Amino acid sequence: MKTEIKKILEDVAAGALTVDEAVLKLKLEPFVDLGYAKADLHRAVRQGVPEVIYGAGKTPAQIEGIVRAMRSRGQETVLVTRLSAEAAGELRGLEAFRYYPEARIGVIGTTPEPDGIGAVVVATGGTSDVPVAEEAAVTAECLGNRVIRLYDVGVAGLHRLLSHAEDIMSASVIIAVAGMEGALAGVIGGLADCPVVAVPTSVGYGASFGGLSALLSMLNSCASGVSVVNIDNGFGAGYFASMINHMEAKK
Amino acid sequence: MKTEIKKILEDVAAGALTVDEAVLKLKLEPFVDLGYAKADLHRAVRQGVPEVIYGAGKTPAQIEGIVRAMRSRGQETVLVTRLSAEAAGELRGLEAFRYYPEARIGVIGTTPEPDGIGAVVVATGGTSDVPVAEEAAVTAECLGNRVIRLYDVGVAGLHRLLSHAEDIMSASVIIAVAGMEGALAGVIGGLADCPVVAVPTSVGYGASFGGLSALLSMLNSCASGVSVVNIDNGFGAGYFASMINHMEAKK
Amino acid sequence: MKTEIKKILEDVAAGALTVDEAVLKLKLEPFVDLGYAKADLHRAVRQGVPEVIYGAGKTPAQIEGIVRAMRSRGQETVLVTRLSAEAAGELRGLEAFRYYPEARIGVIGTTPEPDGIGAVVVATGGTSDVPVAEEAAVTAECLGNRVIRLYDVGVAGLHRLLSHAEDIMSASVIIAVAGMEGALAGVIGGLADCPVVAVPTSVGYGASFGGLSALLSMLNSCASGVSVVNIDNGFGAGYFASMINHMEAKK
Amino acid sequence: MKTEIKKILEDVAAGALTVDEAVLKLKLEPFVDLGYAKADLHRAVRQGVPEVIYGAGKTPAQIEGIVRAMRSRGQETVLVTRLSAEAAGELRGLEAFRYYPEARIGVIGTTPEPDGIGAVVVATGGTSDVPVAEEAAVTAECLGNRVIRLYDVGVAGLHRLLSHAEDIMSASVIIAVAGMEGALAGVIGGLADCPVVAVPTSVGYGASFGGLSALLSMLNSCASGVSVVNIDNGFGAGYFASMINHMEAKK
Amino acid sequence: MKTEIKKILEDVAAGALTVDEAVLKLKLEPFVDLGYAKADLHRAVRQGVPEVIYGAGKTPAQIEGIVRAMRSRGQETVLVTRLSAEAAGELRGLEAFRYYPEARIGVIGTTPEPDGIGAVVVATGGTSDVPVAEEAAVTAECLGNRVIRLYDVGVAGLHRLLSHAEDIMSASVIIAVAGMEGALAGVIGGLADCPVVAVPTSVGYGASFGGLSALLSMLNSCASGVSVVNIDNGFGAGYFASMINHMEAKK
Amino acid sequence: MKTEIKKILEDVAAGALTVDEAVLKLKLEPFVDLGYAKADLHRAVRQGVPEVIYGAGKTPAQIEGIVRAMRSRGQETVLVTRLSAEAAGELRGLEAFRYYPEARIGVIGTTPEPDGIGAVVVATGGTSDVPVAEEAAVTAECLGNRVIRLYDVGVAGLHRLLSHAEDIMSASVIIAVAGMEGALAGVIGGLADCPVVAVPTSVGYGASFGGLSALLSMLNSCASGVSVVNIDNGFGAGYFASMINHMEAKK
Amino acid sequence: MKTEIKKILEDVAAGALTVDEAVLKLKLEPFVDLGYAKADLHRAVRQGVPEVIYGAGKTPAQIEGIVRAMRSRGQETVLVTRLSAEAAGELRGLEAFRYYPEARIGVIGTTPEPDGIGAVVVATGGTSDVPVAEEAAVTAECLGNRVIRLYDVGVAGLHRLLSHAEDIMSASVIIAVAGMEGALAGVIGGLADCPVVAVPTSVGYGASFGGLSALLSMLNSCASGVSVVNIDNGFGAGYFASMINHMEAKK
Amino acid sequence: MKTEIKKILEDVAAGALTVDEAVLKLKLEPFVDLGYAKADLHRAVRQGVPEVIYGAGKTPAQIEGIVRAMRSRGQETVLVTRLSAEAAGELRGLEAFRYYPEARIGVIGTTPEPDGIGAVVVATGGTSDVPVAEEAAVTAECLGNRVIRLYDVGVAGLHRLLSHAEDIMSASVIIAVAGMEGALAGVIGGLADCPVVAVPTSVGYGASFGGLSALLSMLNSCASGVSVVNIDNGFGAGYFASMINHMEAKK
C-alpha cells in the first residue's frame, strides 16, 4: 500500500499525473459495486487466495452476478460457501462449476495443486460432524492443501483416535471438528505438536445449546496450541489452516 | 414406612394404642426442631449413611447445636461439609472431631472400615481441582469406601492418564473432577467399564464462566455411563459413588 | 488391555510373533472403518453391553451398514436410538428388527433376561415426559433390567407419588424424568435410599427454556444420591441405571 | 382520582377556585422533593399501607431525611428494607425505631394488630434461606398479619414438611422461600388450597447461578396457584401476601 | 387429611375396619390411573376448583379419556388448556363441550356464576398479547369471576391506560399481560391498590429473547404488589387471580 | 397538555362548559377503540410524525380496520411495518397503498419531501443485512429524510468503507446495520462526527446467537456518539434518525 | 480528510513538498504516542468536542501524562471519566482541575457556555441511579448543554413523573436512567416528542442480573424514538445527547 | 512414539529386554509425580517448547517443587504464567529467575534468540488491555520470536491503527487483544494477509459481561484468517502464534 501511494506521489511530482487524477486514483475502489454487493477484485493479490462468496442470504442471481464480475476481471478460482443444492442447481451454467453437496460448497475454476508445508488433517468426533468437516476439507483443498480425513474418532472411543496417531503426529496443522462435549480438540492438542484449529459444531441436543457446549469446551482447552473458530465455521477453519500450512512460502 | 404404619394400626386394633396416640405417632417427627434447623435423626436408618450437615451459611454455634442433637440421639458419625478453617477451630471442643482442611470437611465420630464392592477412583484434570476432589474422596472414605486418588491427569497430557489405565480399568466407580474444558469425564467414560460420576469445578477463567463450560461439556459427554452432579459438588459425587459401590450389600 | 500387551510381548519373546507383526497387532483397530463411521466391535467385551448406534444425523443406509458390520462380527444385540419412524420403516428388512415408536428405539437381536440386582423404576412428572422415559425404560430392558414404570407422578399432586412409595422404597435404582420445574428428582431423592438418575426433559414452555429449568433444578437437588444426565437423554439414564443395577455381577 | 378532579372542577365552576389555583392544585405533588428523592406522602391513603423505603444505595442521612419528611406529614409507620446493621446504628436516634437484624429491616412507628383473613405461613427450604424469609415475615407482621414460620422444611426431607401439613392446609396465604432447586414452591402449591407466593433465593453454589435455578424452577411450577417474585425479594413477597390476606377488608 | 386419618383409625379401633383394610384405605389413590395419566378426582374438593387438563403434548384420545374419567366420577366442569383447534374438533362429541379459539381453551360443563370479591381486570400491552390474555380471562370466567378486558393499553401510549383509570382503581385483582419491555405490570402496580399478577409473553423479536425481556422486567418491578407467572402462562394467572378474588369466601 | 387543561378550566370558569362536560373532556380518548386495538389519532400532532402500525401479529383485516379509522380522522400518511407480502396483497385495495417488499413496509398516503437537516446514511456490513437496512431507509424516507445507502461495506474490507468516507463525513446521522461481529458501528463511530444509530441484525450463525453478538458488540462500542436499538429494528433506527435529522426544525 | 490529501498533493505538484515529505505527512500521526497510550490531539477538530480520557484501568500518572500531552498541544478542555476519588486526589495539582465526586468525573479546563438547541433532561428511576445520571449530566454540561435533572421519578409512582410533564414536553433530548425494570425509558418515550437516550444501570439485585433486565427492557421499548447505550454508560448518553442537542449548529 | 514401541519390541525379540521389563518400559511415565502435580519432562522434546506451569491455584512451594523437578531433569527454560507479584517474591531464590510484573510471568532459564519466520505483532484496542497483551508478548519472546507491540490502536480511532499499516502488512502473525466490542480482530483480519490470533479480554463494564461481548464479536469476525483463544488467555495466543511463526523450521 505504502509503495502504491509513493508511486502515485512520484507520478504527481513528475507531472505524469495531475492532482485530480491522483486524488481519483487514491480513491479507486478495488471492487465492483453491484448495488447489493461490492465484489472484491484485488483480494487474490492482497491476501494470496481465491476469492470467496458467503452464499447464505444471497439469491442465485446475486451469486452469479458476483462470480461473473470476479471472473471477468481475471479471478482464477471462486468459492461459494453455504450454497444449498437448489441454488447450486441454478448455477450449473457457469463455466467450470462443480458442487460438493456434503460441504455445501460450489467451486468455479481450477483447484490448485497442493503446495503447502505438509498435510492438513481434518478430524471429527462423530459421523454427524462430517458436513462441517467437509466444508473445512474442501476449502483447504481448494486453497492448495493436501487433506487427510479422520472421521468419527471421538474421545469416547480413544482407541479409534490413537490408531491414527501417526497421522496426527505428522500433520502440519490439524482441524478438530466436534459437537456435544467438544473434547476432541483438547485431546488432539495434547497429542500433536502442530497448531490445532478447533471447530465446534451445532450437532447435539439438550444442553449442547446449539454448539455452545462444544464452543466453551474448546475455548477452555487445557492443551497449548489450540485456537477456535465460530460454531459450524468449517470454511474459516480450512482457510486458517491453509494460511498456517503455507507459512514457509511467505518469506 | 409401610411396615411402620401397619404396626401402628395393629397396635390400635389390638388396643395397645388409642386413636389419639396413633395419630400422634403417625405425625411424630423424626427430627429435632432447633428453630433454625430441623435435625434429621432417622436418616442413618432410612438412608443407611452417616448424617451430613451442609456447613455453609450456618454459624459454628448452629452447627454445634445440630451435631449435639444428633449425637445425643445415637448418631454414630456426622460429617460437616463446606466447613471453613475458622469455623472448624471453634468446633474443636467436640468429642472425636477432626478436620480435613483441603476437603473443608469436619468429621465427628469414627470412620468406618471400607466395605464396598471395590475401589472408588477419584481423578482430577489439574492441581487446582484437588480441593473438590478431596471433598469427594474424604466423603467416600467416611462412607466406607477405599479411595484411589489420581490427581493432575488431564487430557492435555494423555500419557499421564493412560499410565494409570489399570486403576481406571479395575475401579468400581470413578469420580472425574475437572474444570475448564471438562473433557476428563468423557475420556475416562470411554476407557472405563464402570459408572463415572462427573464433577465440574469452577476452576478456570474467562469463558469457563464459573464452571459452566465444564458442566455443559460433561452433560454432553459422548461416552455412555457418565452422569453429572453440581459444579464443585465433591460431596454429592462421593455420596453417589458410595451408593453405587455398596450396591451388592443392598439385597 | 495390559494382559493383551503382555501376551503380545510374550509372543514376541517366544518368537511366535515377529516385531513387525507385533507392531501391527498393537495397532489393530477394534472397529470396522466404514468411511462415514468407525463401528466398534469389541465393546460388548470391553464394556459388557450390546452395541448402541446414535441414530440422529445418520441415514438409514448408514445405520444399516453399521448394523450389518457389527452383526457379521458376532454382536448379539444392537440398539439404534433416536430412530425416526420413517427410518425405522426402511430398516424393517433387518433380521430380528423391532421398533419401539414412543421410545424411538430400534432393536436388532434378542432382549436378554433381566439379571440385575433389582428393579429399575422409571418415573415421570407428567404425561408429556413419557417418550423420554420410554427411551430410558426400553434401553434398560434391552440391557437386562426389570423395569417398573410410574408415569405422571409429578410433585404438584404428591399423593400420586406417595401412593407408589413401596415401588420407590424397594427400587434398586430410580430414573426420575421431568421437565418444567424438575422437582421430581429431589423429592424422590429424599424418599428413596437408592441412587437416583435424573433426566431433565425439554417439555414445557416459556421460562423452561428448552429444559434448562429442569436441568438446573436437578443439578441443585438438595437430596443426596442424585446425579443428572443431559436434557432428554433417556438412553444415557437407562444405560447408567443398568450399570448400577448390575454392580454385584461385577466382581 | 376522578372524584378529586371533579371536586376541583366544581370549585372552579362555583368560583371557589380560580383557574390558576385549579391548575396548581391539579399539579400539586403528593410527595416532598428532597433533591435526592421524592418522598411519597399519600401512599398510606392510596395503597392502604405504611410507607416503605428501599434502604440499599441510600446513606443513613438520606434515609433519615426521608423518614422525617414522612413522619412530619403524619405517616404512622415507616419500614426501611435492606438496612445494614451499620446504617441501623446511625438511625437509632429516630423515635420509636427498632431493627430486625436477620431481616435487615428497620421500623419506625407502631406495628399494627393482625387484622387479616388468616395466617401467613412463611416456609423455607433450608436454614440459609432464613434471612430472606425473615424479611418476608417481618414485612407481613408490620402490615398487620399473623405469621407462622416453618423453617428448614425442604423437599429432600419430605416428612419435615408433611409434619406441618395442618399449618399448610389452614394458611390464608403461603410464602415459600427456597434457593438451590426451588422445589418447595411446587410441592407446597400441590398441598395447599391457598395462594402461594414463591421467593427464590440466591442461596447455593455452582449451577444455582445466583438464584437463577430456583427462579426458573418456581416459574415452571406445575402446581396451580403459585406466583413468583424477584430473587431474594422477601419484602415483595410479604407485601403481596399481606394484600391477599386483607382482601375481605377491601369491599 | 388429618381428619381422614383419624376417621380410619377410629374405625380400626372400633373394629369396623380390619388392619389390612385400613392399610389399603390409607393408600387408596384419589385418582384414576389411565396408564398415560393419573386423573385427579378429588381436586374439586381439595382445591375448590374445576379440574384442569394441560392439553399440550396429549392426544385428543388421551384428553377424552381423562375427561370421561373425571366426569363419570362427578366432576362438574373440566377445562382443557393449550388445546389446538384441530384437537378441539375431535372433542366436539363430548357433552356440553365448547371451545374458545383465541384462548385455546376447551370447556366441558357449566360456567359458574361470578361469585368473587370483585372484578378481575385483564390488561394487555398490545394486540399481539391478546391470546395469552384470553387464556387468563376465560380461565378466570370459568372459575367464577367477572372479567373486565383492557386490551392494547401499553405504556408507550400512557393516555390509553389512564383513560381506564377507574377500572384499574376499582379492580379486585389485575392481570397485566405484556411482551417486549414488559413495563405494563410496573406501571399498573404503581397505579392500583390491589394485587397485580404479571404475565410476560413471548411476543416480540430480537432482544426480547422469547419473553425473557418481559419476564426480567416484571420480576424487577419497582412497584409493590406485583408477582409473576411463567411466560405465556395465561391460565396460571387466571387461576391465581381467581384464588385472590375468592379470598373472602374462604373463612 | 397543560394548555389544554387550562383551556378546559377557563371554559368551566366561564360557564362555557359544565362540570360534567369538563370531566368528560378531560377523559376524552385520543384514540378509537377497535376492540382488538386502540388506534392512536392524535399522534401526528403530538409527535409530529405519520402514524405507524406494527404489522406482525395482526391480521390484514385488523390492519385495514386501523388504517381506515386513522385515515377517516384525517391522518395523512400511515406506515405498516413487518408486513408480509401475503398480507400486503390483501391490503392492495386501500387507496394510495404501496408496498416495499425488501423493507416489508406498506405505506398508505403520500411520502413527504425531504426536509431534514441533511442526509441520513444507511450502511450495512453485508448483503444479508439489506432487508433490515431497507426497513430503516424506507422509514426515514417516509418521515421526510434524504437517504444515502452504503451497502456491503463491512470492516473486513475496510477499503470499501473508506471509499465512501465523504458520505460518512458529511452525513447528518448514520444508521449502521450489521450482524455477526457488529463492528461496523464502532468503526463508523470513530470516523464520523455525527450521531450513529446502530442496528444489530440476526444475520449470522453459530455464536452470533440470533444477533446477540452484534448487539453486545455495538453496546460496547468504544467510539463516542453511538447508541443502539433492538436487533433487526430497522424501523426504530429510521424513526430515531429522523428525529435527530429534524432537530433544527423544532425550535 | 479528502481536502487534506488534496492539499498535500497540490504541494507536491507545486514542488513545495518533496515526495518523501509528502509520504511522511500522509502518515503523520494525529496523536502523541506515550507508549501506554496514543493521545488523540485532533479530535476537538475532527469531532468538535473536548477530548475525553476513560480513567478506569489507568494510573493517575498515566492520566496526568495524557492530559499534559493534550494540553500542551492546545486542547482547551479535557474530561476524565470513571475517575476514583483517590486518583482525583493525585491529579489535584493540574491547572484548572475540578472533580465531581458523584459523577466520578474530573475536568481540566473551562466549561463552555450552553449553546445547544434546548435543554437536556436527565431523569432517573430511583435514588440509586443518580451516580450514573450525574455522569451523564456533568458530561452534557461540559459539552455545552443546559441540563435539567429529574431524579427519582420511576414509573411505580407515575404522579412523580407526570408532575414534571412540562419539562419532559419541552426538552430537546431526554436521558432516561434506570435500573431494575427499566420501564422509565418506554414511558418517557411515549410522553415526549424528542429523542430519548436510555441508560440501563446495574442498580438492583436478583434477577436484574447486573443491569441485563433494564437493558433488555429498554431495547424492547415499544415507544418510538428510544435508543440505548451500555449499562451504566452515563458518559456515552451525555455525549450522544449533546450531539443531538447541537444539531442545528452543524450546517 | 511408534518408533519407541518398535525399539522396545526389537529389544524383546533380541532378548535384550525381558517381557516384564518391556511392560514396565511401555508404562514408564514421562513425568515426575509430585503428588499434587505430575510434572511433564518430555514436553520440550515432544512439543519443541519450554515447559510451562500455570501458576494460578498453586502455592509458591508447589511451583518451586515443579520447577526444580523439571530443571533437575535437564529442562532448559521454564515459564510460570499467572504468577502474582507476591508469589514471584518467594521464588526469587531460584537460579536465573526473572519476573515480568505486567505480564505476570516468571521465567527460569535463558530466553532463546528469535528464530521464527518473521515478527509477531501484538496489538491492543486500549491501554487496559496491555496486561493480557504483555502475557502474549513475553510468552512469544520466551519461545523465540521477535515481537512488535502496537498498543492502544482501537478501531474507534482508525488513524492510530492505519498509521502502523506497515507493521501489520509485514507481520508473520498478529495477536489482536481487545475487550469491549472486540472489533480490532476483524479490522486487522481484513487488513493483514497473515493469520490473526484474537484474544478477547475481560476489560470493560456493563454489557461486556466479563469479556463475553469481545469473545462473541471475535468468533463472528467476518474477516477470513482469524481464530480465537479464551478470554484473557494471552499465554495461549503467544504460544499459538509462536507455533505458526516457526512453521518453516518444522520440516
Per residue in F43-73, pLDDT tens?
Answer: 444 444 678 899 998 889 999 999 988 888 7
User: G152 vs D202: CB contact, 8 Å cut-off?
Assistant: no
User: B13 vs E9: CB contact, 8 Å cut-off?
Assistant: no
Chain G closest CA to E179's CA: distance in Å? 9
Note the pLDDT of residue C31: 61
pLDDT at A215 over 70: yes
Note the pLDDT of residue A175: 98
Q: Which of G116-155 are b and which e, b meaning 16 or more Cβ less than 10 Å from the residue's Cβ?
A: bbbbbbbbbbbbbbbbbbbbbbbbbbbbbbbbbbbbbbbb
Q: Search chain F and give the residue with CA nearest H157.
A: F190
pLDDT at H170 over 90: no
Q: What pLDDT, in 10s, does the model give residues A111-139?
A: 889 999 999 999 999 999 999 999 999 99
User: H244 vs A247: CB contact, 8 Å cut-off?
Assistant: yes
pLDDT at C23 over 90: no
Note the pLDDT of residue D28: 47
D20 or B4: whose pLDDT is higher?
D20
B68 or A29: whose pLDDT is higher?
B68
| D50 HSE (CA, 13 A, CB side) | 28
Residues of G with CB under 8 A from a CB of F: 1-2, 46-49, 52, 117-118, 165-166, 169, 172, 193-195, 197, 215, 219-220, 224-231, 235-237, 239-240, 243-245, 247-248, 250-251
8 A C-beta contact, residue A186 and residue B155: yes
Q: Search chain C and give the residue with CA nearest B236.
A: C224
Mean pLDDT within A203-227: 94
Q: Search chain C and give the residue with CA nearest D206.
A: C220
Q: Which subunits have 3 or more CB–CB pairs within 8 Å of chain B? A: A, C, D, E, H
And the C-alpha cell for G59?
A: 494510573
**Close Cβ partners of C42 (under 8 Å, ≥ 6 residues apart):** C30, C31
Chain B closest CA to C118's CA: distance in Å? 8
pLDDT per residue, tens digit, chain G (251 aa), is 445 666 777 787 788 887 777 766 655 445 667 767 776 654 444 444 678 899 988 889 999 999 988 888 777 889 999 999 999 999 999 988 999 999 999 999 888 899 999 999 999 999 999 999 999 999 999 999 999 999 999 888 787 888 887 888 889 999 999 999 899 999 999 888 899 999 999 999 999 999 999 999 999 998 889 999 999 999 999 999 999 999 964 44
Residues of C with CB under 8 A from a CB of B: 1-2, 46-49, 52, 117-118, 165-166, 169, 172, 193-195, 197, 215, 219-220, 224-231, 235-237, 239-240, 243-245, 247-248, 250-251
Average pLDDT, chain E: 86
8 A C-beta contact, residue C189 and residue C224: yes
Q: How far apart are the first and last CA of chain B?
A: 18
% of chain F surpassing 90 pLDDT: 58
Average pLDDT, chain C: 86
Lowest mean pLDDT across A80-94, A168-182, C133-147, G149-163: G149-163
Probe site for chain A from C38, C53, C209, C218 (most A CB atoms < 10 A):
C38
Q: Search chain F and give the residue with CA nearest G45.
A: F193
A76 or F2: whose pLDDT is higher?
A76
What is the 3 state secondary structure string of chain F? CHHHHHHHHHHHHCCCCCHHHHHHHHHCCCEEECCCCEEECCHHHHHCCCEEEECCCCCHHHHHHHHHHHHHCCCCCEEEECCCHHHHHHHCCCCCEEEECCCCEEEECCCCCCCCCCEEEEEECCHHHHHHHHHHHHHHHHCCCEEEEECCCCHHHHHHHHCCHHHHHHCCEEEEEECCCCCHHHHHHHHCCCCEEEEECCCCCHHHHHHHHHHHHHHCCCCCCEEECCCCCHHHHHHHHHHHHCHHHCC
Helix ranges (H only) for G34-84 are 43-47, 60-72
E113-116: long-range contacts (C-beta < 8 A, 24 or more apart)?
Answer: E113/E144, E114/E141, E114/E144, E114/E145, E114/E146, E115/E144, E115/E246, E115/E249, E116/E144, E116/E145, E116/E146, E116/E172, E116/E242, E116/E245, E116/E246, E116/E249
Note the pLDDT of residue F222: 85
Q: What pLDDT, in 10s, does the model give residues F25-49?
A: 665 445 667 767 776 654 444 444 6
User: D36 vs G126: CB contact, 8 Å cut-off?
Assistant: no
pLDDT at A3 over 60: no
H22 or E182: whose pLDDT is higher?
E182
Note the pLDDT of residue F250: 43
And the C-alpha cell for B237?
A: 459425587
% of chain G surpassing 70 pLDDT: 86
pLDDT at A33 over 80: no
Q: Search chain B and give the residue with CA nearest E20.
A: B6
The identity of residue D75, as a single letter, is Q
% of chain A surpassing 70 pLDDT: 87
**Secondary structure (3-state) at A161:** helix
8 A C-beta contact, residue F46 and residue G193: yes
Phi and psi, residue B193, nearest 5°:
-115, 30
8 A C-beta contact, residue B115 and residue B246: yes
Q: Which of E29, E36, E211 sits opposite C206 (nearest CB)?
A: E211
User: B187 vs A187: CB contact, 8 Å cut-off?
Assistant: yes
Chains H and D touch (3+ CB pairs under 8 A): no
Note the pLDDT of residue A150: 95
Note the pLDDT of residue B251: 43
Greatest mean pLDDT range, C5-19, D158-172, F224-238: F224-238
Q: How far apart are the first and last CA of chain H?
A: 18
pLDDT at B172 over 50: yes
Question: Band of the pLDDT at E45, cuts 50, 70, 90?
Answer: very low
Put residue E107 in one of left, alpha, beta given phi > 0 → left and psi -120 to 50 → alpha: beta
- Distance CA(D232)–CA(D229), nearest Å, equals 8
Lowest mean pLDDT across B158-167, D123-132, G83-92, H174-183: B158-167
Q: Which subunits have 3 or more CB–CB pairs within 8 Å of chain C? A: A, B, D, E, H
Chain C closest CA to D232's CA: distance in Å? 17
Number of F to G CB contacts under 8 A, please give it: 109
Note the pLDDT of residue H135: 98
Lowest mean pLDDT across C63-77, D41-55, G187-201: D41-55
For residue A159, list chain C residues with Cβ-Cβ distance below 8 A.
Answer: 29-31
For residue C209, list chain E residues with Cβ-Cβ distance below 8 A.
Answer: 210
Q: Which subunits have 3 or more CB–CB pairs within 8 Å of chain G? A: A, D, E, F, H
Chains F and G touch (3+ CB pairs under 8 A): yes
D248 or E161: whose pLDDT is higher?
E161
B31 or F110: whose pLDDT is higher?
F110
For residue B207, list chain H residues with Cβ-Cβ distance below 8 A.
Answer: 211-212, 215, 230-231
Closest CA to G191 of G234, G217, G158: G158
**Close Cβ partners of H111 (under 8 Å, ≥ 6 residues apart):** H77, H141, H142
Q: Which of G52, G193, G226 sits opposite F224 (nearest CB)?
A: G52
For residue F182, list chain G residues with Cβ-Cβ distance below 8 A.
Answer: none
And the C-alpha cell for H72?
A: 533437575
Q: What pLDDT, in 10s, does the model give residues D121-160?
A: 999 999 999 999 999 999 999 999 999 999 999 888 787 8
Closest CA to D153 of G167, C150, B40: B40
Q: Search chain E and give the residue with CA nearest G188.
A: E156
Note the pLDDT of residue C32: 64
Residues of E with CB under 8 A from a CB of D: 1-2, 46-49, 52, 117-118, 165-166, 169, 172, 193-195, 197, 215, 219-220, 224-231, 235-237, 239-240, 243-245, 247-248, 250-251
8 A C-beta contact, residue A148 and residue A120: yes
8 A C-beta contact, residue C137 and residue C188: no
Q: Which of F153, F203, F206 sits opposite A233 (nearest CB)?
A: F206
For residue B56, list chain D residues with Cβ-Cβ distance below 8 A.
Answer: 128, 205
User: D117 vs E251: CB contact, 8 Å cut-off?
Assistant: yes
**Burial of C77: CB neighbours in 10 Å, binned 0-12, 13-18, 19+:** buried
User: D165 vs E240: CB contact, 8 Å cut-off?
Assistant: no
Q: Search chain A and give the residue with CA nearest G27.
A: A2
Lowest mean pLDDT across B38-47, F193-202, G183-192, H162-171: B38-47
> Which residues make beta-bridge pairs with D33?
D38
pLDDT at E150 over 60: yes
Q: Search chain D and give the residue with CA nearest F3.
A: D23
Note the pLDDT of residue D162: 81
pLDDT at A249 over 60: no
User: B23 vs E10: CB contact, 8 Å cut-off?
Assistant: no
Question: Band of the pLDDT at F143, cuts 50, 70, 90?
Answer: very high
Chain H closest CA to G28's CA: distance in Å? 8
Note the pLDDT of residue B49: 63
Q: How far is CA F95 from the centre of its chain?
A: 22
pLDDT at C3 over 60: no
Probe site for chain C from D203, D216, D228, D230 (most C CB atoms < 10 A):
D216
Q: What pLDDT, in 10s, does the model give residues F116-135?
A: 999 999 999 999 999 999 99
pLDDT at D14 over 50: yes
Note the pLDDT of residue E25: 64
pLDDT at E71 over 80: yes
Question: Band of the pLDDT at C99, cuts 50, 70, 90?
Answer: very high
Question: Band of the pLDDT at H2, cuts 50, 70, 90?
Answer: very low
ipTM of the complex: 0.86
What ranges make up the beta strands (E) of chain A? 31-33, 38-40, 51-54, 78-81, 97-100, 105-108, 119-124, 146-150, 173-178, 196-200, 226-228
**Close Cβ partners of C164 (under 8 Å, ≥ 6 residues apart):** C123, C150, C153
User: F127 vs A231: CB contact, 8 Å cut-off?
Assistant: no
Note the pLDDT of residue F46: 41
